[in-house]
Amino acid sequence: MLQSKDTSFSGSVNNNERNGYSPNETSKGISVVTTTWNEKENIKELILRVRSALRDFPHEIIVVDDNSSDGTFDVAKCFADLAVSKVREGQTKGLLYGMKLSRFPVIVTIDADLENNPDFILSLTNQLDKFDLVVASRTVVPRFSERLASKTLGKMFGVSDFFSNFRAYKKETIGNFNLRAGETFGGELLVVAKKQGLNIGEEKYEPPSRRCSPRIGGKIKANLRIIAALMKCWIIYLV
């Protein structure tokens, strides 16, 4: 186990054995990226479930921790292939940071709160034969603000769950991704992809029940934050 400082940001890196695959396997594998903020209770289970879902495929799991105060990083560095702890900047920047650290040609982003089923990962990646980016869209989108986003920008992009961060990307497409809107709960990544002309598809799935205390906040706070993120995404898309 190796731990070191990455001088490109304020934080710590834990890099487990990432060099155990042959060049042929590396050319076919899947990098799974998640961001965490106080997800100590969930991160081990998520990693183990991803390992099980991808047990027959070369893969790596990257955790980008947003300066958790509950010891999430300590758990993540024991189980992930690569764990990064950095200053708190939000989910969107964390996802892109982890994606750019990945070494396999296929990247899957997934939430750490166990609301995305890792068993669906291969259904997403199989669609990359036809698309550059595939969104796993929930059949039921619970919040008003998320439904609004999906009926506006999402409809224009051809996805019915605009703020779903359960996605599969071709790594070759994300090299020129740059962010400028702050926290958009992953929305800006989809906007950037659309503006760069990527072919976006979707796969629908049945989501589990939402947890009692979502990370984004209660009903009113969550809807306001998502609407603010939606407005940012509109501005980025139109400018």
The pLDDT tens digits for 63-93 are 999 999 999 999 999 999 999 999 999 999 9
- Residue 9, pLDDT > 60, answer no
Total tally of structural domains belonging to the chain: 1
- Residue 126, pLDDT > 50, answer yes
> Which pLDDT does position 8 carry in this prediction?
43
> Which pLDDT does position 122 carry in this prediction?
97
The vertex-208 CA angle with 207 and 210, nearest 5°, equals 105
Is 157 contained in some domain?
Answer: no
> Which pLDDT does position 7 carry in this prediction?
33
Euclidean distance between the first and the last CA atom of the chain, given in angstroms as a whole number: 45
CA distance 238 to 98: 27
pLDDT class of 212 with cuts at 50, 70, 90: low
Average pLDDT rounded to a whole number, residues 158-164: 97
Is 38 contained in some domain?
Answer: yes
Task: Please report, rounded to a whole number, the percentage of residues in the chain having pLDDT higher than 70.
Answer: 86
Is 158 contained in some domain?
Answer: no
Q: Domain of 177: which CATH number?
A: 3.90.550.10
> Which pLDDT does position 208 carry in this prediction?
76
> Which pLDDT does position 213 carry in this prediction?
56
Is 208 contained in some domain?
Answer: yes
The vertex-229 CA angle with 181 and 108, nearest 5°, equals 80
Phi–psi pair at 66, nearest 5 degrees: -95, 50
- Burial code (b: 16+ CB inside 10 Å, e: under 16) for 109-133 equals bbbbbbbbbbebbbebbebbeebbb
Lowest mean pLDDT among 15-24, 122-131, 197-206: 15-24
> Which pLDDT does position 226 carry in this prediction?
96
Is 176 contained in some domain?
Answer: yes
Average pLDDT rounded to a whole number, residues 108-116: 96
- Residue 16, pLDDT > 80, answer no
- Residue 4, pLDDT > 80, answer no
> Which pLDDT does position 129 carry in this prediction?
96
> Which pLDDT does position 14 carry in this prediction?
74
> Which pLDDT does position 6 carry in this prediction?
41
- Residue 11, pLDDT > 90, answer no
Task: Quote the strand ranges of 123-166, DSSP E.
Answer: 133-138
Which residues constitute the domain of residue 94? 2-141+164-181+195-213
Average pLDDT rounded to a whole number, residues 176-184: 95
- Residue 49, pLDDT > 60, answer yes
Is 190 contained in some domain?
Answer: no
Is 153 contained in some domain?
Answer: no
pLDDT class of 10 with cuts at 50, 70, 90: very low
pLDDT class of 158 with cuts at 50, 70, 90: very high
Is 108 contained in some domain?
Answer: yes
